[in-house]
Amino acid sequence: MSQRLDAWLSDVGLGSRSQVRKLIRGKRITVNGTEERNAAAQVDDHCQITLDGKTLAPPRRGHLHIILHKPSGYACSDNPSEAPLASDLLESTWRDYGVNSVGRLDRDTSGLLLFTSDGQWLHRLIHPKRKVPKRYRLRYQGHLDATAIEACANGIQLADDPKPCRPAELILEEPGQATMILHEGRYHQVKRMIAACGATVSALHRDRFGGLDLPPDLSPGNSRELTSEEITAIG
């Protein structure tokens, strides 16, 4: 499918329409070996288009889905005043593509964080009716026992929330360590649920979203595109 040259260059990530038109007027763009100064010239992905003699790869077609191993200390926000931001860890070309995080992790929470340019996919994953499971590993201070397990399974009523939490699975492991599996996402939910059970979360890490585990070879701060199999596994 053909499109205007300025639109094609903008889709590549070279800037806004007005910005790429300056490149065209500056005689820096060639199409199939010929200098092109008409921003409305029709091109497609089969054309050889260069900037300053360097061949440009065609723009991405379709949506972008990314997995990030978020380290503690980064905020899930688009407000620069809250920097450092989790999105700062992504490649600049991905950020320019307009990706948004699928839900959030608190600044002091680490682990699996998804980004996507597909708004419908994002909404589907975070909608409470979908009940997509998310698994958290946590360290805590205080005492948790079978009473806490039962309370989570029955749905804890958090202060200032109009409805109780959906049933969640709390698995007590070594002293001071536990796993929690949620099917929704509320503000500081794991921390608030553990606090309601009489303990305090000291460290929190998410290692599973839907049917996707955090890849063991993806180091903190690193990210990559999801494979089609991983996208399917998420749910």
Rounded Cα distance between 202 and 215, Å, is: 24
Q: What is the band of 173 on the pLDDT scale with cuts at 50, 70, 90? A: very high
User: Catalytic site residue 106?
Assistant: yes
User: Over the stretch 119-158, which tens digit does the pLDDT of each residue have?
Assistant: 889 999 998 889 999 999 999 999 999 999 999 999 999 9
Rounded Cα distance between 41 and 196, Å, is: 63
Rounded Cα distance between 232 and 63, Å, is: 14
pLDDT for the residue 185? 92
Q: What is the band of 201 on the pLDDT scale with cuts at 50, 70, 90? A: very high
Q: Tell how strand 109-116 and strand 42-43 pair up.
A: unpaired
Rounded Cα distance between 122 and 95, Å, is: 16
Average pLDDT, the chain: 94
Q: Annotated catalytic residue: which of 11, 45, 96, 106? A: 106
pLDDT for the residue 25? 96
Contact 101, 86 (CB under 8 A): yes
Contact 126, 196 (CB under 8 A): no
Enumerate domains of the chain plus CATH numbers: 3-55 (3.10.290.10), 65-234 (3.30.2350.10)
User: Over the stretch 60-88, which tens digit does the pLDDT of each residue have?
Assistant: 778 899 999 999 999 999 899 999 999 99
